[in-house]
Amino acid sequence: MGMTIIEKILARKVSCEAVSPGDTVVVDVDMTVLIDLQFATMWIQPNRIHDPDKLAVVMDHAVPAPTIKDAAGGRQARKFVADFGIERFYDVGRHGICHQVVAENGLARPGEVLACADSHTCAAGAYNTAARGLGPAEIYSIMCTGTTWFQVAPTVRYEFDGAKADAVSGKDIFLHIANEYGDAPNLNLEFGGPGLAGLPMHDRRTIATQCAEVSADFGTFEPDDVLESFLAKRGITGYEAAAPDSDAAYQEVRPVDLSKLEPYVARPGTVSRNGLPVSRLDGQKVDQAFIGSCANGQLEDLQIAAEVLRGKTVAPGVRLLVTPASQAVYREAMRLGYLQDLADAGAVITNSTCGACFGYHMGVLGPNEVCITSSTRNFTGRMGSTEAEIFMASPATVAASAITGYITDPRYVTA
Amino acid sequence: MSIVFSGKVWVFGDNLNTDDMYPGFALKMDPAEAAKHIFYEVRPGWTDQVSPGDIVLAGKNFGLGSSRPVAALFTVLGVAGLVAEEFNSLFFRNAVNTGLPAMTIPDDTRVFHEGDTGTFDLNAGTWRNDTTGASGSVPKLPDLILDIIESGGVLPRLVAQGYLPDELGDVLRSPTVAIRVAGSGA
Q: What confidence tens digit (pLDDT) does each residue in A234-278 have?
A: 999 999 999 999 999 999 999 999 999 999 999 999 999 999 999
For chain B, domains (ranges, CATH) are 4-181 (3.20.19.10)
Please compute the mean of the pLDDT values over residues A353-360 and round it to a whole number: 97
Residue at which a domain ends, from A210, A230, A258: A258
Residue at which a domain ends, from A204, A229, A258: A258
Q: Is A255 in CB contact (< 8 Å) with chain B?
A: no
pLDDT tens per residue across span A290-320? 999 999 999 999 999 999 999 999 999 999 9
Question: Which of A48, A139, A358 lies closest to B24 in CB terms?
Answer: A358
What is the enclosing helix (H) or strand (E) of B157?
helix B154-160
Mean residue pLDDT across chain A: 97
Q: Is A117 in CB contact (< 8 Å) with chain B?
A: yes
Residue B2: predicted pLDDT: 84
Residue A245, domain member (yes or no): no
Residue B184: predicted pLDDT: 84
Q: In terms of domains, do A205 and A301 share one?
A: no
Residues 152-171 of B with CB under 8 A from A: 153-155, 157-158, 161-165, 168
Q: How many domains is chain A built from? A: 2
Q: In terms of domains, do A234 and A270 share one?
A: no
Q: In terms of domains, do A153 and A216 share one?
A: yes
Residue at which a domain ends, from A231, A258, A285: A258
Q: In terms of domains, do A234 and A280 share one?
A: no
CA distance A47 to A36: 20
* Chosen from A14, A33, A35, A44 to mutate, greatest number of chain B CBs within 10 A: A44
* Chosen from A80, A84, A118, A140 to mutate, greatest number of chain B CBs within 10 A: A140
Q: Is A84 in CB contact (< 8 Å) with chain B?
A: no
Q: Name the pLDDT band for A414 (thresholds 50, 70, 90).
A: low
| Cα R_g (chain A), whole angstroms | 20
| Interface touch A144/B158, C-beta < 8 Å | yes
Residue in chain B lying closest to A132 (CA): B90
DSSP codes of every residue in A245-262? PTTB--SEEEEEEGGG--
Specify which residues A373 forms β-bridges with.
Answer: A290, A392
Question: Which of A138, A270, A359 lies closest to B24 in CB terms?
Answer: A359
Q: Is B172 in CB contact (< 8 Å) with chain A?
A: no
Question: Which of A67, A138, A359 lies closest to B93 in CB terms?
Answer: A138
Amino acid identity for residue B151 in this structure: S
Evaluate whether A287 touches A377 at the Cβ level (below 8 Å): no
CA distance A143 to A86: 12
Q: In terms of domains, do A150 and A275 share one?
A: no
Q: Which long-range contacts (C-beta less than 8 Å, at least 24 apart) are formed by A101-104?
A: A101/A56, A101/A58, A101/A60, A101/A326, A102/A31, A102/A33, A102/A56, A103/A127, A103/A205, A104/A234, A104/A326, A104/A328
Q: In this prediction, what percent of chain A has a pLDDT beyond 90?
A: 98
Residue A225, domain member (yes or no): yes
Residue A415: predicted pLDDT: 53
Within 8 A of B27 by CB-CB distance, chain A residues are: 37, 360
Strands (E), A53-187: 55-58, 88-90, 113-116, 130-133, 147-151, 155-161
Q: Is A318 in CB contact (< 8 Å) with chain B?
A: no
Q: In terms of domains, do A234 and A312 share one?
A: no
Residue A357, domain member (yes or no): yes
Within 8 A of A378 by CB-CB distance, chain B residues are: none
Please compute the mean of the pLDDT values over residues A397-402 and round it to a whole number: 98
Evaluate whether A131 touches A29 at the Cβ level (below 8 Å): no
For A80, other C-beta atoms within 10 Å of its C-beta total: 21
For A282, other C-beta atoms within 10 Å of its C-beta total: 7
Bigger pLDDT: A164 or A43?
A: A164
Within 8 A of B174 by CB-CB distance, chain A residues are: none
Judged by DSSP in three states, A191 sits in: strand
Within 8 A of A40 by CB-CB distance, chain B residues are: 183-184
Within 8 A of B71 by CB-CB distance, chain A residues are: 135
Question: Which of A24, A132, A377 lies closest to B144 in CB terms?
Answer: A24
Tell me the CATH number at A72: 3.30.499.10
For A24, other C-beta atoms within 10 Å of its C-beta total: 14
Judged by DSSP in three states, A367 sits in: coil
Residue A398: predicted pLDDT: 98
Q: Name the pLDDT band for B179 (thresholds 50, 70, 90).
A: confident
Burial class (CB in 10 A: 0-12, 13-18, 19+), A229: exposed
* Chosen from B21, B39, B75, B89 to mutate, greatest number of chain A CBs within 10 A: B89
Evaluate whether A120 touches B139 at the Cβ level (below 8 Å): no
Residues 61-120 of B with CB under 8 A from A: 61, 64-69, 71-72, 86-90, 93-94, 97-98
Residue B139: predicted pLDDT: 97
| Interface touch B184/A379, C-beta < 8 Å | no
Q: Count contacts between A and B (CB, < 8 Å).
A: 184
| Interface touch B24/A67, C-beta < 8 Å | no
Q: In terms of domains, do A191 and A58 share one?
A: yes
CA distance A7 to A13: 10
pLDDT tens per residue across span B111-161? 999 999 999 999 999 999 999 999 999 999 999 999 999 999 999 999 999
Residue B1: predicted pLDDT: 61
pLDDT tens per residue across span B87-104? 999 999 999 999 999 999
Q: In terms of domains, do A217 and A304 share one?
A: no
Q: In terms of domains, do A364 and A229 share one?
A: no
Q: In terms of domains, do A230 and A314 share one?
A: no
Is the pLDDT at A19 greater than 60? The verdict is yes
Is the pLDDT at A95 greater than 90? The verdict is yes
Q: In terms of domains, do A29 and A168 share one?
A: yes
Within 8 A of B66 by CB-CB distance, chain A residues are: 119, 358
pLDDT tens per residue across span B15-63? 999 999 999 999 999 999 999 999 999 999 999 999 999 999 999 999 9
Host domain of residue A44: 5-239+251-258
Residue A326, domain member (yes or no): yes
* Chosen from B90, B98, B146, B161 to mutate, greatest number of chain A CBs within 10 A: B90
Phi first, then psi, for residue B82 (nearest 5°) are -120, 145
Q: Name the pLDDT band for A122 (thresholds 50, 70, 90).
A: very high
Q: In terms of domains, do A31 and A86 share one?
A: yes
| Interface touch A139/B182, C-beta < 8 Å | yes
Residue A186, domain member (yes or no): yes
Burial class (CB in 10 A: 0-12, 13-18, 19+), B126: middle
Q: Name the pLDDT band for A206 (thresholds 50, 70, 90).
A: very high
Please compute the mean of the pLDDT values over residues A125-135 and round it to a whole number: 98
